[in-house]
Structure 1
């Protein structure tokens, strides 16, 4: 049962983000986040807060065993490697790995789909963002890459069916005080490339999202429809 009061609802969403809820309660919260913009915002606030806490932990390089377990969990590793990775179960289930799923997993998914993205990179900073269904983890739908010259590429990993009379709009947000900025309409299942002039400066933690809007796009200067996919930029190379 989803609480009506704001604070109990926020606490419940926090438990969901931490992975503490069991079915069917987890499914109820997942459905709430998918349909309710305020609930999705709460989930993002929790994820950001937990990421900030994780950032205070000392950095550690994953062991070979952990790396193999990550590959196996994402469906990249052969069965033989999967057996060798069983010893990493404690690591995989630990809160410390949440940081990997929030940040480094974005890089892992990116490298799987775009193996040459870092080769011959220009001299500026490079970023990536894995856009996922709100409240879902490790289920990428789109990948954003920003190379060293500021060019943004948005690549689809899914082929969603969009209702007739609706459009998918691409947004970015750096500072909530400035509000979101539209990056244009997106054709589902097809990628797009935007220039540095169209994108502007990009920084770590910058929000990217795709929303379902009326045909032709939002009538306002902000999203009006449900969030389809959302994610934050992660710095992957600094020059």
Structure 2
């Protein structure tokens, strides 16, 4: 999820009152210093204004309905005139008004909640789907040994597909190469084949045709900062569909 989308969802949840006390307090502090966040909050408040229960109640004048009834009687055809006193009886029927108000508000709130939850669910699904995938294979046997997944938020993970035997005193080291002039960079050390996040935070964003490989190195990793042992598996990234 991008920061802009995170802020828009946070602003919507703030306006709807869905945040816990700590998160809401933090959001209130941001309103005073973050103009973009304040604009998002104002936009959602306008969007949800129809059912904003924070608005001050307005008490109608005593003769309001008498004047409305008189005006309607004068303007409408006789067959369509509201029976005298009907509007006043409806006004005085708190039960009917509460049912109507709550029904409308509940429907609006439910719609808003579905919209917010749907946006968050879509972002969560997108965040779980990798942007680039590399299948690392053994050049000799063409057997796939691991998969590397790179996500839109910068996370990169490696998932082994086979049990890689690691002799005593040796370690598995994962490398990536995005620029031959710069050379390969180590992004992970493993004592055994297991799913693990790779450390690419200080490197350029993962792109298409980026090389990943696994080598067998001395315990503690390559002493030179470059691959020295045999390459077990390697492959390049491709964008997912």
TM-score after normalising by structure 1: 0.46
Which structure has the highest helix share of the two? 2
TM-score after normalising by structure 2: 0.45
Question: Which structure is richer in relative contact order (CA contacts within 8 A, separation 6 or more)?
Answer: 1
Could you say which structure has the larger radius of gyration?
Answer: 2
